[in-house]
Structure 1
Amino acid sequence: MPMSAAARAACLSHSFLNSWRFHPNLTLNFKTLCPRTSRGNFRCKIDSILRNHLGTAKILKLNVADEDSTYPYIDRWLEVAVTPGIEELTLTLHKKYIFACSLLSDGVRDSIRCLELNLLQVIVCEAPNLSSIFLCGEIKLSLGEALTMKALLMRRPNVVCYARAQLPSIMPNLETMELGSDSEAVNIPMLPTKFLYLKHLTIQIAGGTFSPSYDYFFLVSFVDASPSLETLYLDVCQDDMAHESIIESSSPHLRQLPELSHDCLKSVKILGFNSAKSLVELTCCIVKAAVSLERLVLDTLRGGDDRCCGESNGKICWPVSNAVLKESARAAIAVRRYIEDKDSPTTTLTLVEPCTRCHSLAFG
């Protein structure tokens, strides 16, 4: 039963009210609590729900956005809801708020496994069983010995370089990592530190235009550092590719890492694949090193649900500029010239090019 319906039923039935007080999953936001009523009731509804709840929630998702009237009550609400036994806490705020670390008492630290706080400036947390965390913004992070941390999602400028340099020692047991940045100005270092248990890696450094000095090739540092890596998803979509194109390069020699060998990597997808020489070098290096590679997808556009798949079903592809289409054509040439003959017979290479139906109509 949806939470809003459960709350209404609790108002009408004393027996249901007793079960409602033990409801384990609380999602408190404007959409669920005030779909048809004015914003003036929002704070009162949250206050009433948490006042009548017995603090047994395992999952609490509280999103008050920019509702000024709610902020003086947040401390009280969290004191009621964040109790031993809670496993997931998501707090979404759009204004300044000081999160009380005292809320994470001994009992809470023992049970909580997922903590999601947006737009924080400093995090000091020593929850020993915390296994996943989502961080957004340039946050000063202190997690003690985060040995149980299995999943990390982090979005901030220069996060890719930060993650490679700092996280192996902070979170040595990561299994899943997703990094998002719209600004990467520093090339990734090649370091001896390892992500020994990392299996799934997503790197999104999509943006307008990257500096021509940014070297995609050094992303291979993550592959070298992750011997257990099975899937790699790389998003490098950009509006205008300013790097040196391998099609126009005066030096066709490709850099390699002959000592690199990888036994676990099975699936690689690069979204926004272009003809930048350093990106082609990275791809060739991965293909050559990953002896177990089964699937390689090179998508020269943005792909995904924005495509019509060439079918006349009323759906059209998301429009792209002439510059993106021209670069897509150069990327396809680079794939056929430098990558196609590098993959093994057991690897399925999929090259995704512009839709002939939609993009030919739009751009001739």
Structure 2
Amino acid sequence: ICDVTIGGSITSVAKTERKGLHYQLKENVYLPEDILRLIHAMMPLRDAARAACASHIFLQSWRCRPNLIFTGETLGLIINGTGKDDAKRDFINIVQRILLNHSGIGVKTLKLELLHFSDLDLGCLEAWLQIAVAPGIEELTLMFPCVRYKFPCSLLFERGGNSVRYLHLMVCTFRPTIGLGCLIKLTQLHLSFVWITGDELELLSKCVALEWLKLSYCPEIICLKVPCMLRQLGSLEVAECRYLKV
């Protein structure tokens, strides 16, 4: 039995009381599987993991969880405090287990905060992205541990080219090339502490849906040109790009 909060009250879902495509709650209330999957998707990460251990339907939902938010807060860990080494190890182990058990199907949002993990195995990070950056993904917030990490542009453009709407990259090297295509639905782009040149940034001119662009602490940008094709762009913010010529 696992607890589910509905309208402020706690009910219990018992898989032993399953009838057809419904699950019985307390007080003889039944919910269809699609509603239960929706409830499970809205649970905090830790609660959703616990529920998956108690219910077959929640376990199936867990393997296709749409929102993967990996931060110290969502995992209940203090990454930069006392006992931080143990917390970092626990963080990596938890993320590893979750992603290895995820089908890679249905991911809509991925947030991964790794700013304090300077000794993280980059091969491990690559494996995580291969699983989570799946076709259909819409929001990506990736905060990497070091600028020497070269973000896999081909993975982003090939799998998220038709779906990504929001992209926030922090602390990495980002090298888009001419043959990668475009992110046709991208409306918001935020690059912070990202190594990218003005010429490389100009290659994003095919992102014709772009409405909001923020660049901060990008030291390789010397000249910034806003292509005329970006007709939807209504907000441009540039901060602390020290070598940018005005």
Give the TM-score, by structure 2 length.
0.65
1:104 alignment partner, SS class: helix
Deviations 1:73-116 (A, max 9, x none): 11111111111110011110121212222312544211111121
Structure 2 residue aligned with 1:90: 141
Structure 1 segment 296-315 matched on structure 2, within 5 A: none
Task: Select the residue among 66, 71, 78 that pairs with 2:129.
Answer: 78
Match of residue 38 from structure 1: 87
Q: Relative to structure 1, is the Cα distance of residues 47 and 160 closer, same or farther in structure 2, using a 3 angstrom cutoff? A: closer
What are the residue-to-residue correspondences of 1:289-328 with 2, within 5 Å? none
Residue pair 1:160, 1:181 contacting (<8 A) in 2 also: no
2:230 is aligned with what amino acid?
A: M
| Structure 1 residues 151 and 167: CA distance shift in structure 2, 3 A | same
Q: Compared with structure 1, are the counterparts of its residues 12 and 121 closer, same or farther at alpha carbon in structure 2 (3 Å cutoff)?
A: same
Is the CA contact (8 Å cut-off) linking 2:133 and 2:159 kept in structure 1?
A: no
Does the 8 A contact of 2:151 with 2:175 survive in 1? no
Given that 2:115 and 2:144 are in contact with CA atoms closer than 8 Å, whether structure 1 keeps it comes out as: yes
Counterparts of 2:184 and 2:109, CA distance in 1:
18
The counterpart of 2:65, out of the listed 23, 46, 51, is 23
Structure 2: segments with no counterpart, 5+ residues: 1-42, 79-85
1:52 maps to a residue whose letter is N
1:174 aligns with 2:223: no
Give yes or no for contact 1:159–1:180 (8 Å, CA) kept in 2. no
How has the CA–CA distance of structure 1 residues 105 and 167 changed in structure 2, closer, same or farther, with 3 Å as cutoff? closer
- 1:170, distance to aligned residue in structure 2 (A): 6.4
**In structure 2, do the counterparts of structure 1 residues 177 and 30 end up closer, same or farther at CA, with 3 Å as the change threshold?**
same
1:152-191 equivalences under 5 Å are: 152-156=213-217, 162-163=223-224, 166-169=225-228, 171-181=230-240, 188=246
Measured at CA, do residues 8 and 66 of structure 1 come closer, stay the same or move farther in structure 2, by a change above 3 Å?
A: same
Mapped partners of 2:137, 2:221: distance in 1? 31
**C-alpha RMSD of matched pairs (Å):** 2.9
Cα distance, 1:52 vs structure 2:
1.4
Match of 2:160 among 108, 123, 126: 108
The yes-or-no answer on 1:66 pairing with 2:116 is yes
Matching residue's letter, 1:75: E
Q: Distance in 2 between matches of 1:184 and 1:101?
A: 24
Q: CA deviation at 1:15?
A: 2.4
Contact 1:59-1:89 at 8 Å conserved across structures: yes
**Distance in 1 (alpha carbons) for counterparts of 2:162 and 2:64:** 20
Aligned residue identity for 1:42: F
Aligned partner of 2:192 in structure 1 is 136
CA–CA distance in structure 1, aligned partners of residues 53 and 192 of structure 2: 38
User: Is the CA contact (8 Å cut-off) linking 1:64 and 1:70 kept in structure 2?
Assistant: no
How much does 1:151 deviate?
0.9
CA distance in 1, matches of 2:121, 2:91: 8
**CA–CA distance in structure 2, aligned partners of residues 147 and 70 of structure 1:** 36
CA contact (8 A) 2:192 2:215 kept: yes
Alpha-carbon distance in structure 2 between the residues aligned to 1:100 and 1:159: 19
Q: Tell me the secondary structure at the aligned position of residue 65 of structure 1.
A: coil
Q: Larger relative CO (CA 8 A, sep 6+): 1 or 2?
A: 2
SS of 1:76's partner is: helix
SS of residue paired to 1:169: coil
Match of 1:49 in 2: 98
Q: Identify the residue that residue 5 of structure 2 maps to in structure 1.
A: none
Mark the CA change 1:122 to 1:22 in structure 2 (over 3 Å): closer, same or farther. closer
Q: 1:72 to 1:157 in 2, by over 3 A?
A: closer
Q: Is the Cα contact below 8 Å between 1:132 and 1:149 reproduced in 2?
A: yes
Pair 1:151–1:51, CA change in 2 (3 A): same
Q: Which SS does the other structure have where 1:154 is aligned? A: strand
> Which consecutive aligned stretches of 4+ in structure 1 deviate over 6 angstroms post-superposition?
157-161
* 5+ residue gaps, structure 1: 189-364
Displacement after TM superposition at 1:53 (Å): 1.4
Structure with higher Rg: it is 1
Per-residue CA distance 1:138-187 (angstroms, 9 max, x = gap):
52223142211111111137999955xx114363430222222375885x
Which structure shows the bigger proportion of residues in strand conformation?
2
Contact kept? 2:212, 2:236, Cα under 8 Å: yes
1:49 Cα deviation after fit = 0.7
